[in-house]
């Protein structure tokens, strides 16, 4: 890739487009107008195809859940115990509707001190194109626990989904959401997380399949010494719109944030959108924060939007920076591989796979890493017949 | 016995100031087993020669020929040249994120040989060569050139040279940035490749230091895009004493 990084920001030098922290919230869908596509949080979205998620209606039976791994681990809670809304506040219409119409109320709670080495995989399968579903999922890691929860989406549906993530003090939680939907699926997910004292959240969004997929993670590093790593991976083919609006709020002292989202685009109309807002609050002294988005354009006819924003309200931080780069293949990488006898096509596939594997390598679940590596290969095989991005492009 | 023959090679590059000629008629003949040192001041066109042989798209060939046993090298793509038996050890090897050394080496070996190496024997071969180059086993799992020190990058280049077994290797300032220990290790690797496979070597260097460890059979002095003088080992010794000044003065 030809990457042109923007210079890292120094405290006080960056101006946000809009103060992300002041975005209105409500549990009542009526408080949100139907998105027109002009709003700050919808202006790069495919509101036409997301329209099924703007209908405030009774829904049921759009998604089938396989929770056997979670049941076996004894981490599901039900009834009065399964409270929701402790930290979650809907910020847009599909999220407010999902709150109101949610049928499942899946609630995962990792017991205090419990260390679960096996990942807990919840499989969600959409049962039909256009079937409207609404979900509110709570994932809660009690103090000193360690666990990994995977939401694995397949099939097709029109799903609005809230994921409320609470990482209590000193807990270490990994949440991975994989979107391997069929081509006609529509999915808008709002993830909201709060991370306690010396707790760590690793959050990974992998979007390969689906017509329109919008997964917006919002993380508040509330506790002193809390940390988060927010990673994303999108592979957008012809006609796909894959989007993530990431919000990271450094609220407590001595917190650390690392945001890295990568996208690959191939085929006519392939689209990715990434908006990364980082806010370092007035009390967040000692913050160390970095966010980066990189996109690799494989063919002509694609569009990648990439907007990093950094807002700093205290001067006393350890470091903060952001970078955004969208480009085509790096000729030097291709030359290096070809100079070792590797054909141009194989070299391209190696470079793209490698570019995306940088995120996959951070997942830490061998079985899932292997599956995603195979998915990347399949995506590349699909694009094998397409002409590479022209040199002037990108 | 193979021959790499360069005749009246003229090469230019595009710059912001327009087309700039770099090589102005280079003649060189290298045979299997020969070790040819190409020496010269900065900007004389040494690296351009290296990259032109390998087929880097930045360099335009305006005239002349490069042939390998009579085959037209200039008509081949970059990967075809490598498969024909040419190898370039680069001065600045590029990082390839997400591609492990193990995956890269296996893919390259498969491409060069036209078939995948036997899994078990291959891993053993790679490990043996890594040992000889004092490379830690953990190298295999690292991404290509990512976070490598200067010395590690050069060892990795020589590891590829030994594993891919080309007929001719162009070493582009492989000695630059190496301390004495690393220089010895890397030179031993080149000498091994030379002894075991009758490799022909084009050793591009600014300094005579590496020639203490790799004995050249021929020395060519490059000045302003041409071979200004040719000789044996003794020419390198003379350069060590006198530098390139007399060529530059003559040119001025």
Closest chain B residue to the Cα of A335, Cα to Cα: B56
Q: Could you list the residue range(s) of the whole structural domain that residue B164 is in?
A: 3-97+149-251
Instruction: Identify the pLDDT of residue A7.
Output: 38
From A349, which residue of chain B is nearest by alpha-carbon distance?
B99
More reliable by pLDDT, B123 or A389:
B123
Does A340 contact B112 at a Cβ distance shorter than 8 Å? yes
Confidence (pLDDT) at A15: 43
Residue A163: predicted pLDDT: 98
- Per the prediction, chain B carries an average pLDDT of 94
What CATH number has the domain bearing residue B168?
Answer: 3.40.50.300
pLDDT in tens, A50-88: 999 999 999 888 999 999 999 999 999 988 777 899 999
In a domain, B58, yes or no: yes
B129 falls within a domain: no
For A350-389, write each residue's pLDDT tens digit: 999 999 998 998 998 999 999 999 999 898 888 877 778 7
Instruction: Tell me the residues of A at the B interface, defined by beta carbons under 8 Å apart.
Output: 330-333, 335-344, 346-347, 350-351, 353-358, 360-361
Supply the pLDDT for residue B250.
61
CB-closest option in B55, B78, B96 to A351: B96
Percent of chain A with pLDDT over 90: 81
Name the average pLDDT for chain A: 91
Substitution target in B79, B81, B101, B148 with the highest count of A β-carbons within 10 Å is B79
Asked if B122 has any chain A CB less than 8 Å from its own CB, the reply is: no
pLDDT per residue as tens digits for the range A44-53: 999 999 999 9
For the segment A289-299, what is each residue's pLDDT rounded down to a tens digit?
A: 999 999 999 99
What is the pLDDT averaged over residues B181-194?
96
State the pLDDT at residue A394: 35
Q: Domain for residue B90, yes or no?
A: yes
pTM passes above 0.95: no
Local confidence band at A10 (pLDDT 50, 70, 90 cut-offs): very low
Structural domain contains residue B159:
yes
Q: Confidence class of residue A184 from pLDDT cuts 50, 70 and 90?
A: very high
Q: Is B15 a member of any domain?
A: yes
The string of pLDDT tens digits covering residues A149-165 is 999 999 999 999 999 99
Distance CA A347, CA A334 (A): 6
Of A40-54, A136-150, A195-209, A317-331, the range with the lowest mean pLDDT is: A317-331
> How close B79 gets to chain A, by Cα (Å)?
4
Quote the pLDDT of residue A315.
86
Q: What is the pLDDT of residue B251?
A: 59
Q: Does B97 touch chain A (CB under 8 A)?
A: yes
Inside any domain, residue B194 = yes
Is B179 within the bounds of a domain? yes
* B61 domain residue, yes or no: yes
Partnered with residue B11 across adjacent β-strands are B23, B61
Chain A interface test: which of B83, B97, B144, B168 (most A C-beta within 10 Å): B97
**Has residue A2 got a pLDDT over 60?**
no
* Least confident residue range of A317-326, A379-388, B237-246: A379-388
* Reported confidence tier of residue A3, pLDDT bands at 50, 70, 90: very low
Contact call for A341 and B93, based on CB within 8 A? no
The DSSP 8-state label assigned to residue A299 in this structure reads S
> Is a pLDDT exceeding 60 seen at residue A343?
yes
Give the count of domains, chain B.
1
The pLDDT-based confidence of B247 (bands split at 50, 70, 90) is confident
Report the residue from B78, B98, B104 with minimal CB separation from A338.
Answer: B78
Q: Which residue of A has its CA nearest to B83?
A: A341
Does residue A18 have a pLDDT over 60?
Answer: no
């Amino acid at each position: 890739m030809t990457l042109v990084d923007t210079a890292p920001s120094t405290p006080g030098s960056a101006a946000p487009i809009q103060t992300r922290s002041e975005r209105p919230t409500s549990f009542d869908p009526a408080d949100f107008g139907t998105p027109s596509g002009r709003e700050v949080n919808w202006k790069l979205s495919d509101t036409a195809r997301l329209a099924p998620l703007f209908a405030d209606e009774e829904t049921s039976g759009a998604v089938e859940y396989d929770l056997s791994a979670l049941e076996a681990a004894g981490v599901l809670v039900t009834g009065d115990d399964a409270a929701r809304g402790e930290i979650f506040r809907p910020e847009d219409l599909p999220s407010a509707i999902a709150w109101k119409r949610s049928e499942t109320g899946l609630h995962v709670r990792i017991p205090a001190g419990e260390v679960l080495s096996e990942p807990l995989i919840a499989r969600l399968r959409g049962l039909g194109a256009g079937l409207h579903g609404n979900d509110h999922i709570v994932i809660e890691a009690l103090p000193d626990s360690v666990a990994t929860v995977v939401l694995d989406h397949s099939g097709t549906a029109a799903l609005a989904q809230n994921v409320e993530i609470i990482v209590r003090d000193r807990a270490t939680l990994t949440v991975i959401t994989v979107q391997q939907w069929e081509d006609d699926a529509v999915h808008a997910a709002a993830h909201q997380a709060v991370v306690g004292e010396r707790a760590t959240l690793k959050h990974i969004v992998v979007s390969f399949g689906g017509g329109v997929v919008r997964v917006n993670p919002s993380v508040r590093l509330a506790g002193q010494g809390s940390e988060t790593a927010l990673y994303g991976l999108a592979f957008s083919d012809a006609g796909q719109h894959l989007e993530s609006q990431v919000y990271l709020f450094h609220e407590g002292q001595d917190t650390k944030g690392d945001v890295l989202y990568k996208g690959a685009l191939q085929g006519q109309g392939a689209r990715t959108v990434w908006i990364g807002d980082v806010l370092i609050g007035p009390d967040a002294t000692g913050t160390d924060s970095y966010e980066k988005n990189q996109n690799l354009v494989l063919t002509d006819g694609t569009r990648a939007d990439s907007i990093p924003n950094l807002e700093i309200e205290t001067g006393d931080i350890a470091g903060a920076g952001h970078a955004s780069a969208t480009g085509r293949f790096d000729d030097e990488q291709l030359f290096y591989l070809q100079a070792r006898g590797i054909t141009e096509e194989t070299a391209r596939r190696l470079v793209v796979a490698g570019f995306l594997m940088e995120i996959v390598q951070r997942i830490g679940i061998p079985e899932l890493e292997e599956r995603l590596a195979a998915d990347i290969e399949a995506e590349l095989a699909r694009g094998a017949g397409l002409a590479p991005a022209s040199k002037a492009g990108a | 016995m193979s021959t790499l023959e360069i005749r009246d090679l003229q090469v230019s590059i595009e710059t912001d100031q327009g087309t700039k000629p770099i090589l102005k008629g280079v003649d060189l003949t290298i045979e299997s087993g020969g070790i040819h040192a190409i020496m010269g001041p900065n900007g004389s066109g040494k690296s351009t020669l290296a990259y032109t042989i390998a087929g880097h798209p930045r360099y335009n060939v305006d005239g002349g020929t490069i042939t390998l046993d009579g085959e037209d090298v200039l008509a081949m793509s970059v990967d075809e040249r490598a498969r024909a038996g040419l190898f370039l050890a680069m001065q600045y090897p590029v990082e390839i994120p997400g591609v492990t050394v193990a995956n890269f080496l296996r893919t390259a070996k498969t491409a060069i040989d036209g078939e995948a190496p036997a899994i078990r024997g291959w891993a053993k071969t790679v490990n043996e060569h890594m040992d000889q180059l004092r490379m830690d086993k953990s190298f295999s799992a690292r991404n290509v050139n990512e976070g490598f020190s200067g010395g590690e990058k050069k060892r990795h280049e020589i590891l590829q040279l030994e594993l891919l077994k080309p007929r001719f290797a162009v070493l582009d300032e492989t000695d630059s940035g190496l301390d004495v220990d690393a220089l010895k290790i890397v030179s031993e690797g080149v000498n091994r490749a030379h002894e075991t496979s009758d490799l022909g070597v084009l050793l591009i260097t600014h300094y005579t230091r590496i020639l203490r460890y790799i004995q050249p059979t021929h020395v060519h002095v490059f000045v302003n895009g041409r071979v200004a003088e040719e000789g044996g080992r003794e020419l390198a010794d003379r350069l060590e004493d006198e530098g390139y000044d007399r060529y530059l003065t003559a040119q001025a």
